[in-house]
Every structure is written in structure tokens, then in C-alpha cells.
Amino acid sequence: MTESERERRRVLKRKFLLGGVVVGVLLSVGYLALNLLGRSIVGGPAPPDPVGIRFVNVFLIIAACVLQASVLGRVAGLLTGKDSDKS
């Protein structure tokens, strides 16, 4: 594997990871905004979560988005013939 192929794989991996982080942050901000307004995701009234639960939920949202982006990046790498798993 040449150095240019490795660099292309790193760039592809980085793009998907960054996309996952951005989506996770946007969803977390939406969750926090709804939670502070006392609404649930489906629109009904709901009591606000305790601060500790909010931290855990934000972490889980971001982690799930990054994991999903990582899997999508690997699938994209396999479909394009650039497997991002092997170094």
C-alpha cells in the first residue's frame, strides 16, 4: 500500500468521524433544549432530567453517532474499494 492510499484512507476516516461528532452535538443540543423546556421528544410535557442523567444521555448520544459514522465510513470504504480498516 502506498503512502497516498494511506493518506486517502485517513482523510475518509476523519471525514466520517467529524460528521458523526457534528451530528451528535446537534442532537445533544436538541435534547438539552427540549429537556430544559420541559418537553419530551414526542412533544408532550415531561419533567426535566437531573443533571447527572443529562450528562450520561449527552455522552450516549454522541457516542452512538460517532459509532454509527464509523460503521458507515467502513461500509463506504468497502463499497469504494478503499477499506479503511487495514493500515
Question: Is 34 within a domain?
Answer: yes
Q: What is the pTM of this model?
A: 0.78
Question: Is 64 within a domain?
Answer: yes
Domain span at residue 22 reads 12-79
The span from the CA of 28 to the CA of 21, in Å, is: 10
Look at the chain and report how many structural domains it folds into.
1
pLDDT tens string 33-65:
999 998 887 878 888 899 999 999 999 999 999
pLDDT tens string 62-84:
999 999 999 998 888 778 775 44
Question: Is 44 within a domain?
Answer: yes
Question: Is 21 within a domain?
Answer: yes
Return the pLDDT at 60: 97
Question: Is 6 within a domain?
Answer: no
Return the pLDDT at 87: 47
Q: Are 62 and 24 in contact (CB under 8 A)?
A: yes
Question: Is 7 within a domain?
Answer: no
